[in-house]
Structure 1
Amino acid sequence: MAQNDDDAWRAIVDNYGDRPDLEDHPEDPAGAAVGDGAAGPDDPADDLGASAPPAQPGWNDLFEGSDWEEERFVPPPPPPLPTTTADRMAAWVGVFGSPVVLLICLVLGFTPPELITYLLVVGFVGGFLYLVLRMNREPRDPDDNGAVL
């Protein structure tokens, strides 16, 4: 039984796919037969003894001239971005802008006047406290356990 299986598999492997006809030597434009050694040592067709197989059509070639291009999904326009109020924007500028200004002054070696330094610190702390106090205390959905998909 094992010998029959081995013979069956060997027959399948030997006859798998299209085999190139090695007896046929098509002519190239220069007049030399492909695979006869006249093409040069770097010619991959010379190593195989036959010419390269024809190019397979690509994925994009399958859809050219079809109706697929006309049936593409076009999503609806996205909703407008949410806007914020002026007081909240001032708080965000205080939270992010104050440290940036102080960092730039530190990198450049510039010492701002003491009053401006205090105002930047107050802007940071005040903006942070304002944003925390204005946060919504209740969950968006009472049945929400925190997991949002």
Structure 2
Amino acid sequence: MTPQSDEDEVWRQIVASYNQPDSAEQPWPDSENLSLEEPEPEPTRRVVKASEFEDDEPESEPEQEEDEEGHYVPEPPPPLPKVDLTTKLAWVALFGGPAYLLVAAMSGWDMQGWALFTAVAAFIGGFVALVVRMGDGPPNDSGWDDGAVI
């Protein structure tokens, strides 16, 4: 017999026994068998009387003084950069065009061709303006080396 035919025979046996009920003949590991005759041990209990604690005084921990030395206080964040008028208009166009189309469609307004064209052109124009103004070089204040700073 070839290894392939042995494997095919094993698969045939698996498929044939798929719908058959489980029999008690299947071997189980001894660790899986539970004995109903052995009672579970009861948990042990200990009664503690107050007199046992009177002799032992708890050691008082020294109060920790709150000092400013261990706390990190971050620097205030830098102010937001000033945005010029062109960038503001580009952002308004980028979001304003689709917002107009969404509101008009949800309200059931009759949109003219020029309004659709203007909204789509505003979206595209705002996107292009922001991408062009993005710049692809290092910032001007980075010095001669634009590598990592350790």
From the CA coordinates, give the structure whose radius of gyration is larger. 2
* TM-score normalised by the chain length of structure 2: 0.46
Comparing both chains, which one has the higher relative contact order based on Cα–Cα distances under 8 Å and sequence gaps of 6 or more?
Answer: 2
